[in-house]
Amino acid sequence: MTTIGFCSTSTPITAISPKRFARAKAFLEGKGVKLIAGSLTGKQDHYRSGSILDRAAEVNQLIYNDEVGIIMATIGGTNTNSILPYLDYDYLNQHPKTVVGYSDATALLLAVQTQAPNCRTLYGPALVASFGEWPPFVNETWTAFEKIINTRHGHSVTIKAPTYWDDEAINWNDFERPKQQRPNQWHSIGASKLTGRIMGGNLNTIYGILGSNYFPKLSPNDLLFIEDAEKDASTVEKNFAMMRDAGAFDQVSGIILGKHALFDDSGTSRKPIDILLEVLNGQQIPIIYDYDSCHTVPMITTPLGAQTTINADDGTITFSRF
């Protein structure tokens, strides 16, 4: 049986959205998952689930719990980076677990990746946000997640791009109407097939840890994976330029850009890929974009640090050595 301990490292979503939280628990329990609630479940301190030290303590309690095999974020937020100095990475590295989440949980994932490398870190579903989703999207997200967590060390797994996707901001608590099922396709510039170690996460969260010990060292073998959501064109330009100025684009062999859910083009008609190309200013680096490990649904689970081959033409991504 899979045992998931869940935590709210930023937004107090279990208190804010009890209906979606209940739906997520029911979905996972229906899949045979045992859930262990973090200590801040149902609690709220205004914009966050608790103080910095209380949020760190919630994660540490799950780290120390031998019954927990997977630590999963309930959602993202803004300030997970606040808790990073207070986590027991030494114990976690000696008693490794799988850690999963997306968006602001990027801070936790990359901290674990750098400070407790014996763990698996998965850029993947968050309990409330992802598993509180409605069918058919939630089923697709679960299938991809299950394939990853069931892949044994030393083995590889291939995930196919979803045939459809959507990013509408509906059906959060109650079902209003079916979401669209937009035809899905990955796109490429420079090369349609990339191979390397995949590393990265949510770009707006990386903004809060770039230059720290929690951000991994990139190498020429790496594929930089970045995605964002609900940002406007000026913020996207700023964040891409931040990565350029930090030398990230010079250190890797390719970029994988996720879909940008609910992107605000600020009247420009530009897409994130257009802004990225302008920031790169002619730099020759291959890009595969519209990848589905992001805030859109359904979501592919991406094991950070895995040796990866992504093919935009046939819509497949293969992970090994994670």
- Looking at the DSSP bridge assignments, the partners of residue 196 are 308
C-beta separation of 258 from 293 below 8 A? yes
Catalytic residue among 8, 140, 253, 295: 295
Distances (CA, A) of 6 to 70, 182, 222, 256, 280: 8, 31, 30, 28, 38
- Catalytic, 29? Answer no
Catalytic residue among 17, 103, 130, 188: 103
Catalytic residue among 133, 140, 227, 237: 227
**Residues contacting 281, CB < 8 A, separation 6+:** none
The terminus-to-terminus CA distance of the chain in angstroms comes to 21
- Catalytic, 58? Answer no
Instruction: Kindly tell me the burial class for residue 183, based on how many C-beta atoms sit within 10 Å of its own C-beta (0-12, 13-18, 19 or more).
Output: exposed
Compute the distance between CA of residue 134 and CA of residue 23 in angstroms, rounded to an integer: 9
Closest CA to 72 of 180, 148, 171: 148
- Catalytic, 103? Answer yes
The DSSP-derived string for 21-66 is HHHHHHHHHHTT-EEEE-TTTT--BTTBSS-HHHHHHHHHHHHH-T
Coil, helix or strand at residue 3: strand
Please list the active-site residues.
103, 227, 295
